[in-house]
Amino acid sequence: MERLMTRKVFVVSIVLRRMFIYYRSFYYVEIVGTNERELKKERRKQCYQEVAGRSRLRKREDDTTRWKNFRDRVDIYAVMKGHKNGWTRF
């Protein structure tokens, strides 16, 4: 009887451990996912500020440089679109 009990406990502990590892991996994925999203948001914000700060200088640049800068900063598309004057800012 005693041996049977210890085996039951052992099996239950294995199952619990497996479940814990399984759920923990999900938890980590979730955390990494949110961090990634936050980083992207932060990056977009920085790019937006950069462009807003340099827009006066931009007018003196010729078209080729302007196009290159636009291509380099293509990831701030979404932010600029929301701006009142978004498309002319580039």
Share of the chain above pLDDT 70, in %: 7
Rounded to whole angstroms, the Cα distance separating 77 from 37 reads 16
Count of residues in the chain: 90
Determine if the pTM surpasses 0.85: no
pLDDT at 42 over 70: yes
- Report the alpha-carbon angle 11-14-20, nearest 5: 140
Collect all residues with Cβ–Cβ distance below 8 Å to 80 and sequence separation of at least 6: 48, 51, 86, 87, 89, 90
Mean local confidence (pLDDT), 41-70: 59
Asked if 80 and 51 touch (Cβ cutoff 8 Å), the reply is yes
Q: Please give the distance of CA 86 from its chain centroid, rounded to a whole number.
A: 23
Asked if 31 and 66 touch (Cβ cutoff 8 Å), the reply is no
